[in-house]
Amino acid sequence: MLPDEHFCQLQKHPEERFHRDRHTLEVGYRHIDTAEMYGNEREVGQAISRSGLDRSDVFVTSKLANDAHEPDDARRAFDESLKALGVDYLDLFLIHWPLPTRYDGDYVSTWKTLEEFYRDGRARSIGVSNFQPRHLRRLHTESDIPPAVDQIEVNPYLTQDELRGFCAEHQIAIEAWSPLGQGNVLDDPTIEAIARRVGKTAAQVVLRWHIERGDIVFPKSVSPERIKENIEIFDFELAGEDVEAISALNRNERTGADPDKFDGR
Ligand SMILES: NC(=O)c1ccc[n+]([C@@H]2O[C@H](COP(=O)([O-])OP(=O)(O)OC[C@H]3O[C@@H](n4cnc5c(N)ncnc54)[C@H](OP(=O)(O)O)[C@@H]3O)[C@@H](O)[C@H]2O)c1
């Protein structure tokens, strides 16, 4: 399965997805992470516009398609994302994958195109996804605006300490994608034991672990009960030793593609 492919499959049920997005806003989520690749920008936009919320109350992120890294294609793709979402600005726009083996490895020109969207105000902030320290270093030396965030795969089995350290040093916020390891970490005995002790579910403990480490999270669920469960994480804290015990579960195990090899196809 390609990275993110399961989101593309959701496209088969746009009506169901629209109601789920609306429920998500009703229970209090205000940060929506979408992408051209997920094929759901239209339903996300509809859910926002019919929610009764002000546009300014919702933080909307989308991402550049892997086939649109050439500057003119990126400009077109950005316009299309705005149109599909029915908004005149994005809070955050990301390069979805660095694709170092494609486009002559020139993600810098793509980044400079995102800088245009930032300068003209249609992207309130710009960032990257799946960038490794060497990719970030190039942006640092060859471009003007540093990425506001790097959205990377992080979960208790993939703690990404080196990359998180680099980002902390360069004031790049971390967004943790697949924060629950796509559900794979939830039956870990260490996590289950902490969950029992603090009276929360394993998913809530893992999401709280991300928050304690300072990362931004957006778990995904198709279940209304789990969507509600996953936001009920602001009424408890984890002790330092519990955060450390979960971090010690690291196995450097990815569920998604290797950003250095993935060519987006
Ligand atoms: N930038 C990138 O390259 C990239 C790549 C992948 C994902 N993402 C972003 O990250 C978001 C989340 O990633 P993800 O869906 O891969 O992984 P995830 O949020 O870690 O896990 C989702 C899985 O966990 C299950 N789940 C959710 N809440 C649960 C709970 N409370 N108890 C038990 N199981 C639960 C879901 O099942 P049910 O649906 O059946 O509840 C689903 O199978 C995506 O929506 C996307 O926005 C970005």
103 labelled catalytic: no
Distance CA 119, CA 179 (A): 31
Return the pLDDT at 2. 36
Q: Is the C-beta atom of 151 inside 6 A of ligand 1?
A: yes
Cα–ligand 1 centroid distance for 131 (angstroms): 20
Q: Are strands 59-64 and 173-177 parallel, antiparallel or unpaired?
A: unpaired
Nearest CA to ligand 1 atom 16: 178
Cα–ligand 1 centroid distance for 7 (angstroms): 9
The single residue listed with the structure tokens 């995904």 is 220
Cα–ligand 1 centroid distance for 105 (angstroms): 29
Return the pLDDT at 6. 37
Q: Is the C-beta atom of 182 inside 6 A of ligand 1?
A: yes
Residue ranges in the chain modelled with pLDDT below 50 = 1-12
Query: In this structure, what token pair is assigned to residue 154?
Result: 């992080």
Return the pLDDT at 3. 40
State the closest ligand 1 atom to the C-alpha of 204, by its place in the atom list counted from 1. Answer: 31
Return the pLDDT at 244. 98
Nearest CA to ligand 1 atom 5: 4
Distance CA 161, CA 249 (A): 12
Distance CA 222, CA 238 (A): 27
Tell me how far the alpha carbon of residue 61 is from its chain's centroid.
8
Cα–ligand 1 centroid distance for 72 (angstroms): 32
* Catalytic option among 29, 38, 89, 157: 38
Q: Is the C-beta atom of 62 inside 6 A of ligand 1?
A: no
Distance CA 256, CA 152 (A): 10
Query: Whole-model pTM?
Result: 0.95
Cα–ligand 1 centroid distance for 199 (angstroms): 22
Distance CA 87, CA 224 (A): 26
User: Pick from 119, 165, 124: which is nearest to 143 by CA?
Assistant: 119
Q: Which residues of 232-253 are buried (b: 16+ CB within 10 A; e: fewer)?
A: ebeeeebeeebbebbeebeeee
Return the pLDDT at 13. 67
Return the pLDDT at 100. 97
Nearest CA to ligand 1 atom 36: 221
Tell me the pLDDT tens digit for each residue of 98-144: 999 999 999 999 999 999 999 999 999 999 999 999 999 999 999 99
Nearest CA to ligand 1 atom 29: 226
Q: Is the C-beta atom of 230 inside 6 A of ligand 1?
A: yes
